[in-house]
Amino acid sequence: MPINPLGVHALVFAGDTTPDRMTEIIDQTRAAGYDLLELSLHDSPNLDVADARSKLESAGLGIVCSRGLAFDADVSSEDPAVVSRGARLLHDSLQITHDLGGHHFTGALFSALGKYGRPLGSAGRANVVATLKDLAADAADKGMTLGLEVCNRYETNVVNTAADALRLADDIGADNVVIHLDTYHMNIEEDDLVRPVHLVGDRLGYVHIGENHRGYLGSGHLDFTAFFHALADIGYAGPITFESFSSAVVSPTLSNDLAIWRNLWDDGPALARHARAFITNRIEAGRGA
């Protein structure tokens, strides 16, 4: 059996988080054999937190929440009002994660989710550091961990490589801030899928597994064998979550931000079952190498 808790992103099953939809998402996550559900909080106004927590606990599932920010609530902005809106959104999202029973809040917590037309400035980066210092302190008071997801250049200008994430985490200077690697983004920005894992080492706290086109695992060109061997090299025992997107499942607030234009699959439950078997096999192969 895998040593890592295995998760699946809710957008494999549905694009919104109304109570009826959450019932469907949770049931399908459990049926596919996962240990935890990752929930993007972009649809949080429609989320009944107490109801969702009850359903998660009944299903025996853990919960991880993630999000990026919007350009009018961007903590990497040089406009104090925009930064303030972003900080409030982060603290509110942290509280939702806590109220759901989660201990891990991750994602592009440092910027808007979208293509920037300029490099990050020093004032904007200082705002990121100050905001995330405060958020990390809030998280520590709640017994929670923050993840810095390394995203590609078309989704942020703040953290594009594992080295970027380590520098930001060092500047934040909090023990409860960990690095979140994602094979989809690594394929774009890193030289390979091995050296970043070794570089991050015991500071790795969360992993997204996604193909180069975010479709079926194994249908693209990513070297997952090397990646899972690297995870075994560092003794990574944290969560590994499958993330995939298709135009078959549309989130009104997220699909456009992620440029989900293609129909890479139609059957989310079948995709989820395939991904769990794929990841389990790679973990076992990596540990046995």
The contacts of residue 203 (CB under 8 Å, 6+ apart) are: 166, 169, 178, 179
CATH for 117: 3.20.20.150
Tokens read off for 281: 């096999």
Contact (Cβ atoms closer than 8 angstroms) between residue 244 and residue 264: yes
Question: How many domains would you assign to the chain?
Answer: 1
Active-site annotation, residues: 149, 243
- CA–CA dist 53, 174 (Å, integer): 28
45 burial (CB, 10 Å; 0-12 / 13-18 / 19+) is exposed
Establish if 78 belongs to a structural domain.
yes
Establish if 208 belongs to a structural domain.
yes
pLDDT of residue 289: 47
Establish if 1 belongs to a structural domain.
no
pLDDT along the chain (289 residues), means of 10: 86 92 97 97 94 98 96 98 98 98 98 96 98 98 98 97 98 98 97 98 98 91 97 97 76 63 76 96 85
pLDDT of residue 267: 84
Contact (Cβ atoms closer than 8 angstroms) between residue 35 and residue 6: yes
Domain carrying residue 192: 6-288
Contact (Cβ atoms closer than 8 angstroms) between residue 155 and residue 112: no
- CA–CA dist 47, 253 (Å, integer): 14
Establish if 209 belongs to a structural domain.
yes
Spatial CA neighbour of 131 closest among 87, 166, 95: 87
Alpha helices in 201-246 (DSSP H): 224-233
pLDDT of residue 268: 85
Q: What is the pTM of this model?
A: 0.94
